[in-house]
A and B are shown apart, each in its own frame.
Chain A
């Protein structure tokens, strides 16, 4: 065993090609909701207009709608790599189409075949089309930003993004827990689709009830949300005493076992990941933080 202390590994960035997705449906258009009613899924992938960071995950009558453009790749293996290596905060540049030159930012990802969700300025998103090509400067997986306690796993986030996230407080002395402000803390039994899947390339759906009439219990796109007793270091699964924090990346879904999804960014024992429930005062990831206003 080496006696030298391990220097922080320097991150590398890779340019990935993403292609703006076109929504797809099967031969039969209907899905069945949790109460047994058929519905036609709108907003599930591709470019979704009229939805932005800060909107309620329940704001639209849609299925898994994400605020921006979903990016994929025609080759399945390249698509998995796109999803696994892209991190929240990574810069996106549109290379083709009417919005060529526009800048976007990765705000999360979705699982199964793999989708990266990128936010853009509304006026630029409005002129984008499926099949437009973008480049993503992917960086973050494997990074350990300074000041995070050993035992806390950081994933799916650009190391540079922490500088603009006031809700994440690192211990001043370099020791002690990281403290994270969240909209709410959800028990593991509400975790849905995404359990048992690799957290570097999937989101975790939360089976949340709709908000109360006064807005209590609402979650906004971009919010930080904690899930207790969930370990997301490898696959996502139950582990007593752990906490996982993710960022809400897409809206609710009528599908049983699905719901608004979070992209996990921090996971570890509760003793080193301190959750502050900020409720109505919480401000999550915003377009302003990403300089997309």
Chain B
């Protein structure tokens, strides 16, 4: 992105975490939109076969978290890990057969979500230790004072197309535009924690549940209408939030594929360009595949 930022003033912090197991309870079932009981995998642990650029929905899964899901064992250290980690930060595997492999953060979902090439991911298991080099919180854009940056590594900003325009607006390429009606679970929470579930993306279920969001892909950059995520996630008419789809298929009602928040401000501060290539896969994944 052709834009000046304070990226060179930020510090990086070395954080650790471990690939955290999927969690369930003894009753097992949860409830879908029409009352369907379900017990489906996807959240926690290591979820294989779904990466940036792949469809977000259409799986027999709930709260699909692509790649490795990471937490820290100590609650306060985990809070630091979840809040300080930004999309685009590198994640290095420290233990197990995949030790030495490097992936990148694609978002948060009460876990830090790290995508790795499939062959690397196949060698990662619950309990493996990882190192996250966290950098990005505090990032600010020169000349775009109304826009607040969230959870965004400086490198990600540089790789995104667009940038400052002569009219003073920030050009951002987005793969999809999301109406305010789609905002589900996650509204009211901190913008630096977990993500915003999007309703209206229940592929294969009733038309009355659809908001036309069934074609989202993991890693898509999306624009959320009337969403103000500067200080938490809220509805505010005339505001806009740019996010990255970091989680996929949900069966739990009121939930769905979720964007982690990246940029937020008045809608007039942005110039959106509809661009199907606006996906993390275009800026991160090819390089990763080559590096392996």
1/0 per residue B222-264: CB within 8 Å of A?
A: 0000101011111110000000000000001111000000000
Known: A205-B188, A238-B211, A257-B189. A188 touches B181 (CB 8 A): yes
Check if A34 sits within 8 Å of B228, measured CB to CB.
yes
Cβ contact within 8 Å between B231 and A239: no
Contact A195 B33 (CB under 8 A): no
Q: Contact at A255–B228, with CB atoms within 8 Å?
A: no
**A234 on interface, CB distance cutoff 8 Å:** yes
Chain A residue at minimal CB-CB distance from B255: A196
Taking CB atoms, residues of chain A closer than 8 Å to B228 are 34, 256
Is B184 in contact with A196, judged by CB distance below 8 angstroms?
yes
Residue of A nearest to B236 (CB): A34
- Give chain A's interface residue range (CB within 8 Å of chain B): 20 to 34
Contact A257 B187 (CB under 8 A): yes
Q: Assuming A34-B236, A189-B181, is B231 touching A240 (CB within 8 A)?
A: no
Interface 1/0 per residue, A25-42 and B, CB below 8 Å: 000000011111000000
A-B contact count (CB 8 A): 104
B185 within 8 A of A: yes
Q: A193-B187, A196-B186, A256-B231 are in contact. Are A235 and B31 (CB under 8 A)?
A: yes
Report B-chain residues with C-beta under 8 Å of the C-beta of A32. 231-232
User: How many Å from the CB of B41 to the closest CB on chain A?
Assistant: 19
Instruction: Give the chain A neighbours of B287 by CB distance below 8 A.
Output: none
The 9 closest A-B pairs by CB, nearest first: A196-B185, A196-B254, A257-B188, A193-B188, A237-B254, A256-B234, A256-B232, A189-B180, A235-B253
Query: Chain B residues in contact with chain A, CB under 8 A?
Result: 31-33, 35, 179-189, 197, 199-200, 207-209, 211, 226, 228, 230-236, 252-255
A and B contact pairs by CB, cutoff 8 A, 27 listed: A32-B231, A33-B231, A34-B234, A34-B236, A35-B231, A189-B179, A192-B187, A195-B197, A196-B185, A196-B186, A196-B197, A196-B252, A197-B185, A229-B181, A233-B35, A234-B35, A234-B253, A235-B253, A236-B253, A237-B33, A237-B199, A238-B200, A240-B207, A256-B231, A256-B234, A257-B234, A257-B235
Binding site for B on A (CB under 8 A): 32-36, 187-193, 195-197, 205, 207, 229, 231, 233-242, 255-258
